[in-house]
Each structure stands twice: as C-alpha cells, then as structure tokens.
Amino acid sequence: MDLADILTRTQILPELRAVDRWAAIDELIQNLVDTGRIRPEDQPAIAGVVYRREKSMSTGIGFGIGIPHASTDLISEVTGALGRSRTGVSFEALDNQPVHLVLLFLVPQGQFQKHLHTLANIAKLLHRADFRQALELAPDADAMLRIVQEQGKK
C-alpha cells in the first residue's frame, strides 16, 4: 500500500499547530475523526494504542520525519493523516532534530504484513530529500496531495 492510497486532501494538514509529538498525534487523530476515518467514540482507544507504540520508541526517524503508527481492531482499512509543521515539532527523533512532516497511519489489527509493507513504503518515500523538500515547500494541502500522488509512484 502506497501513501497515495491512504491520503485524501482533507487528511493533509499543511499547518500543524502542535509543538510536541503528543500534540501532533492528537491533532492528526482528530483529523481522522473530523474526516470520518475513525469514529469519535474510538478516538481515546486509538490514541492509546498510538501512544503505547510511541512510548516504546519514538517514530521520529530523522530527516525531519515522524511516522507514528499502530494496529487496531477499531478500523477496517488502512488510514492515515499527514501534517506539516513549518517551525518543527519536538519529537525525540533519532537525530535529535525537529520534525517537519508527521505521518500518522493506522492498520487493522492482524494485518502485520500490510503494516510492515506500508511502513516500509512510507519510510522509503519520505527518506527521499526531493520528496520531503517538495512537501515542505508546497503552498497548500492540494499541492501536497498532488506531490504524494505524482512522486509516490516513482
């Protein structure tokens, strides 16, 4: 599964307000509630599984990227939200640098291979400097989605 398969324009936040990883995760989960990807009553439980995963080891993988993720039986298909912070989010990243692109994704429980495959594809794409730079310079969510759709297929 590719990033373009997971995101819609409404699942892209070009101006994250969060200043730390917990607030960024909350903001992205709220986006999934607002866009109908997860039910409001499931929000606390989903936040809990993402927090547990994040507490075990930061998903700030370096290069200004954070990829919080988790498996849950509260969804039926892979979903996610992408946020961009121009000022940077404190994420306790491996390189100790602020994170500018945060991609939260959720995979249905029991789909371990899909989870690993999705994570690998997303990490590979976000490790490309040209892709990150294009997302960071894009003027709005529409432009960011076009970049994901065009570059995600390379």
Q: What CATH topology corresponds to 3-151?
A: Mannitol-specific EII; Chain A (3.40.930)
Per-residue confidence (pLDDT) for residue 29, from 0 to 100: 98
Annotated active-site residue in 69, 100, 117, 127 = 69
Residue 118 is predicted with a pLDDT of 81
Count, in order, helices (H) and strands (E) of the chain. Answer: 6, 6
Q: Cα 136–78–33 angle (5° rounding)?
A: 75
Q: Is 121 buried (19+), middle (13-18) or exposed (0-12) by CB count in 10 A? A: middle
Kindly list the averaged pLDDT for each block of 10 residues, start to end, along the chain of length 154.
Answer: 88 96 97 97 97 92 92 93 96 92 93 80 88 95 95 66
Is residue 69 annotated as a catalytic residue, yes or no? yes
Say whether pTM exceeds 0.85: yes
Domain range annotation of the chain: 3-151
φ, ψ dihedrals at 96, nearest 5°: 60, 20
